[in-house]
């Protein structure tokens, strides 16, 4: 009888431990923030870019300043203009967490 009591107590303690350790476990999938980037290379001096007919943004001309421009993932129309003339017009599809490089002549 004494042995049966020890087995029951042991099973009870193991059950309590399993429940307490199992409660802190997290399941599921974590995903990174939904963001993508544009990078412009080439002759960016005096150039601006327009994303999806929005406001124009002056491009960085410094070689030390590798400037990435944050955009939402998806399909975008990109215009690069210099002296009010379009030098690049491109439709791009950028995936999440990707960088799309645009060459400026």
Could you tell me the pLDDT band of residue 11, with boundaries at 50, 70 and 90? confident
% of the chain residues with pLDDT over 70: 82
| Region at 9 (left for phi over 0; alpha for psi -120 to 50; beta for the rest) | alpha
The values of phi and psi at residue 102, to 5°, are: -115, 120
pTM of the predicted protein model:
0.66
pLDDT (mean) for 90-100: 95
Token pair, residue 58, equals: 């002056």
Distances (CA, A) of 59 to 42, 46, 79, 92: 11, 7, 12, 18
Q: What is the pLDDT of residue 18?
A: 66
Q: What confidence tens digit (pLDDT) does each residue in 14-63 have?
A: 667 666 665 566 667 777 789 999 999 999 999 999 999 999 999 987 76
The values of phi and psi at residue 37, to 5°, are: -135, 150
Q: What is the pLDDT of residue 13?
A: 76
Q: Specify the residue for token string 């999440």.
A: 96
């Amino acid at each position: 009888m004494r042995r049966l009591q020890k087995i029951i107590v042991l099973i009870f303690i193991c059950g309590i431990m399993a429940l307490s350790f199992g409660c802190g476990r997290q399941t599921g999938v974590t995903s990174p923030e939904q963001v993508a980037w544009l990078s412009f290379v080439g002759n960016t001096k005096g150039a601006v870019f327009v994303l999806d007919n929005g406001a124009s943004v002056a491009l960085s001309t410094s070689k030390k300043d590798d400037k990435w421009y944050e955009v939402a993932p998806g399909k975008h129309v990109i215009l690069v203009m210099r002296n009010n003339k379009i030098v690049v017009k491109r439709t791009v599809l950028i995936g999440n967490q990707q960088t799309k490089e645009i060459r400026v002549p």
